[in-house]
Structure formats: C-alpha cells, structure tokens
Amino acid sequence: MKTVKDYIRTIVDFPHKGIMFRDVTTLFSDPRGFRMCIDQMLHPYAGEPIDKIVGLEARGFILGGAIAHQLGAGFVPIRKQGKLPGKTLSQDYKLEYGEAIVEIHDDAISAGERILIVDDLLATGGTAEAGIKLVERLGGDIVGCAFIVDLPELGGRAKLETLGMDVHALCNFEGM
C-alpha cells in the first residue's frame, strides 16, 4: 500500500546545486494520493472547531482550499508582497537562500477565530513563522500548522514548536 511519501518525487540540484527538491506536484496529480494527503492532513483536526484555513503561497493554496472544503471552514491566502488587492499587513522573513515579504488582507481574520495554517513543506520555518506572526497580529488563535513534508535537518519544526505551535507533518525526508 502506497504512502503519501511514495507519491513525492525528488529532483536533484533544483533550484540550486546541492538541493534535493521534494516535488509534491506528482502527489497532487494522482487522485488517490491527493485524497490520501488531504484526509491525513485534516485528520488531527477533524471535529475541532476551526474557522479558517490559512494557506501559504503557493502550494498551501491547493491544500488549504481542499482542507477548508472538507472541514466546512473559510480559506485565507497569505501571498507574496504585492499580489493581494486592498489593504494588507506585511511581514518580512528569511528564506533558505534570501529574504522575502508576505501579506494578508487586514480584514481576513477576526480576533478569536481559530486558524489552521497549511503548506506543502516545512524547511527552515521562515515562511510559516511569517504567517504565524500575521495571523497573530490580526488576533487569530492558531490551533496548529500542518505540512506534507518536514525536512528535520533544517530546523523548521523546532522553530515553530518554540513559538508554541502544534506541528503536524505527513512525512519526513532526511538530507537537503
């Protein structure tokens, strides 16, 4: 029986030499694999009151929309700077190989709403930490952070757990 990890391919030296890119598009393109992934990501939160799913750009949008649908929750995107219309809040963060800024609409989350943050991959935790800060600035109560892949050697899980986050990942890949 296949696991979620079995549907993920590794592309060597992408986007830079020495990087082992964990490509979830092969998981998304397989109906059984994708359904398994969504079911497993939402399982820890089934029956828990969740108001909104926050998806981190870009693959978090694919996951977040599907999970929001299954849980009967709303969906909120956190996007790269300049991609959202209307008034936004911004948060800068460090990437594995650079810096970036993400944004959320300033009216996307109301104080006290219960939020689940989702993305495909947890590496250093920079993008997720930026998302957490944005949600917290809007007064959201984060119930957890869910990912398909955790790269434990890069320390993202430890970073998020230090922030008090409940972190779930469907599989780990050792090595970068």
**What CA–CA distances, in Å, run from 43 to 23, 99, 111, 133, 142?**
23, 33, 25, 25, 17
Give the tokens for residue 79. Answer: 């996007």
* Neighbour count for residue 172 (Cβ, 10 Å): 13
Q: Which of 57, 79, 96, 136 is flagged as catalytic?
A: 96
Q: Which of 59, 113, 129, 157 is flagged as catalytic?
A: 59
Rg (CA), the chain: 15
20 burial (CB, 10 Å; 0-12 / 13-18 / 19+) is middle
96 is catalytic: yes
**CB-based contact 129:154 (threshold 8 Å):** no
161 is catalytic: no
**Host H or E run for residue 131:** helix 126-137
**Host H or E run for residue 54:** strand 52-56
Catalytic residues: 59, 96
